[in-house]
């Protein structure tokens, strides 16, 4: 199938990744748009991983107020330069994160932020729920890990399913912007307030 300029443009608009990379991804998968997106996401993620160790000391603090002031969110999104912090897409991501936090109520940024005692307690609860299931230890371990993954998906912001697109996780939004901007971008911290809730 011919790789047209329209296809390349569409892929670029959908992923935010450069023209040459979009063209190469389309060539690699025979112009299948979904497969090309998957290829770029994998490559973008690899690029994001490489940038994750760089210092991100710039950024923005954004706020989101919901339900006539009954829910409020403050979120700090960090990047490497003031130039990126002023970018509209970066600012939009701050707003999207505020909306996600208001709606999905995460408690931590990432699974690595969950205290060890809470993870241990959750494992204990999972094992109690499984009861005396007669399965080999390695199968039980996989079941526990799977259920623990669901716990992280519910309570860790980056692991949550994005509320506007259930095929993506919040982590994917950051990865896509890192790939586009070429800078390390990370959630610094957040706070969610709800009237009548501790």
**pLDDT value for 170:** 96
Task: Give pLDDT, residue 141.
Answer: 85
Pure H helices in the chain: 5-15, 19-28, 33-51, 82-85, 88-104, 116-130, 137-155, 170-181
Cβ 92 vs Cβ 181: under 8 Å: no
Name the stretches of the chain with pLDDT < 70. Answer: 1, 13, 15-18, 44-53
Q: Name the class of domain 5-51.
A: mainly alpha
Residue 89 confidence (pLDDT): 96
What strands, in cross-sheet order, belong to the sheet with 71-79?
58-66, 71-79, 186-194
- Give span(s): CATH 1.10.8.10, the chain: 5-51
Q: Which residues pair with 62 in a beta bridge?
A: 75
Q: pLDDT at position 63, please?
A: 96
Contact between 84 and 58 under an 8 Å Cβ cutoff? The reply is yes
For the stretch 129-185, pLDDT in tens is: 887 777 887 888 888 999 999 999 999 999 999 999 999 999 999 999 998 888 999
Count the alpha carbons within 13 Å of 154 in the hemisphere toward its beta carbon: 7
Q: pLDDT at position 67, please?
A: 87
- Does the domain formed by 58-109+156-194 have CATH 3.40.50.300? no
List every span in the chain annotated with CATH 3.30.479.20. Answer: 58-109+156-194
């Amino acid at each position: 199938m011919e790789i047209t300029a329209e296809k390349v443009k569409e892929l670029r608009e959908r992923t935010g990744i450069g023209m040459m990379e979009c063209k190469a991804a389309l060539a690699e998968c025979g112009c299948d748009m979904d497969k090309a997106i998957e290829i770029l996401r994998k490559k973008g993620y690899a690029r994001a991983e490489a940038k994750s160790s760089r210092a991100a000391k710039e950024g923005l603090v954004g706020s989101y107020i919901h339900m006539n002031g009954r829910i409020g969110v403050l979120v700090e999104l960090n990047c490497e330069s003031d130039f990126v912090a002023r970018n509209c897409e970066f600012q939009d991501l701050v707003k999207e994160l505020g909306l996600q936090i208001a709606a999905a109520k995460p408690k931590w940024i990432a699974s690595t932020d969950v205290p060890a005692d809470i993870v241990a307690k959750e494992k204990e609860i999972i094992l109690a729920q499984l009861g005396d299931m007669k399965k080999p230890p390695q199968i039980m371990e996989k079941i526990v890990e799977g259920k623990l993954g669901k716990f992280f998906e519910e309570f860790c912001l980056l692991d949550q399913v994005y509320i506007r697109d259930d095929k993506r996780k919040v982590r994917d939004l950051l990865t896509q912007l890192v790939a586009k901007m070429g800078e390390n971008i990370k959630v610094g911290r957040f706070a969610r307030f709800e009237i009548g809730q501790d």
